[in-house]
Structures are given as C-alpha cells and as structure tokens.
Amino acid sequence: MKTEYISKSASETESIAKDLSTALGRGCTIALYGELGAGKTVFARGILRGLGYTGVVSSPTFTIVNEYELDDHRVAHFDMYRVDNEDTLEAAGFFEHITTGSTIIIEWSERIEHLLKTYRSIDLTRVYIYGSGEDKRRIVVE
C-alpha cells in the first residue's frame, strides 16, 4: 500500500513522520530514500518524537549510527552515505540491531538495497522523499 503526503516545510515533514510512527510496530525498519537536503534527518527526528524521544536528534553522517534508548526499546538511526562495505556495517552494529528487535531508521538506504532484500523477514517501511531545499516535498510511504 502506498500513501503520499505533501510537505511545505521541515516542521510539516517532522509532523508527518511523527504521525506515521504511531502506525509502526516496535522493531520495524524504516528505509529512507532521497537526495541530499531532502529532509531524511528531519523525517527521522519526527519518527523519534512520535516514539517518545525528546532529546537532540542529529544526522549520523560521520558516526554512521546514533542510538537512542527509549523506555521500552532501542532505536538505531543509521546513515549509509559513507558506508562502503559490510565490515563497516558490522562494526557499527547494524546486523545486531536487525536481529535484536531494535527499531531501525536508515538514511541513504539505496546504498544497502541488496542487504534490505536479504532480510525479507524484517518489517520494512520504505519512505521516498522527493524535493530538496526550500521547495515542497512529496513523501511517499510504502
């Protein structure tokens, strides 16, 4: 099933993601797709806000993963932009998070598409964000 939204601002993008988070189960994987500046980190922040996290949410571009401890589970927010092999993913704890029930948010998912196809048993939601800069965005959730 596909659902589409139009966002005219970062706060609207965050709000859409926050609302979507209520429909997602614990331990799901959210794969974000979109060009540089599309709002993937803003969307991730909205998901985390919807799950109850109130602290700072930043892009894990240089750290590859930011982990957030919630009352009832863990969220791992990955950025795959700089990932060039599976050893890097292993070191960042990606495979551990997949198998231990963490909620996972992945920016630049197209870089590990082959792995997402391998883990067919995960509860996967794909989010495509079209547009960047100050323009409105079309957000497609599958």
Domains in the chain, CATH or no CATH each: 3-141 (3.40.50.300)
5 three-state secondary structure: strand
Residue 124 binned pLDDT confidence (cut-offs 50, 70, 90): confident
Amino acid in the structure at residue 141:
V
**What are the tens digits of pLDDT across the range 55-78?**
999 999 989 999 999 988 899 999
The pTM assigned to this predicted structure is 0.93
Q: In angstroms, rounded to a whole number, what is the distance separating the alpha carbons of residues 129 and 35?
A: 8
Q: In angstroms, rounded to a whole number, what is the distance separating the alpha carbons of residues 113 and 13?
A: 24
**What are the tens digits of pLDDT across the range 74-118?**
999 999 999 988 899 999 999 999 888 899 999 999 999 988 887
